[in-house]
Amino acid sequence: MQRVRITATTPDGRDPDVVVWYRGQPIAVGDTASNESITVDLGAGTYLLETYECGNGDCGGSPGAYDITITVTPF
């Protein structure tokens, strides 16, 4: 297992959300009302990292094109 921290930030104070998927199931979700920082233990395998601005999801806000910076840091 490898513990990692995943952060999602926007330069303009938007609300990025993060979902980590493994074998078709969400295993970690970051959906607070600000930039995200989640910690997850990952084993060997292939994972999908889904990131979107809340306004483009189903949680309200203004839809549009927004820059989101993703950082994955092992520790």
pLDDT grade for 68, boundaries at 50, 70 and 90: very high
Q: What percent of the chain has pLDDT over 90?
A: 71
Q: What is the tally of structural domains in the chain?
A: 1
Alpha helices per DSSP H over the chain: none
Predicted confidence (pLDDT) per residue in 12-62, tens digit: 888 999 999 999 999 999 999 889 999 999 999 999 999 999 888 877 778
Range of the domain at 12: 2-74
Q: What is the reported pTM?
A: 0.89
Sheet (strand 2-9) strand order: 36-42, 2-9, 69-74
Phi/psi of residue 67, each to 5°? -80, 130
CA dist., res. 48 & res. 68, Å (int):
16
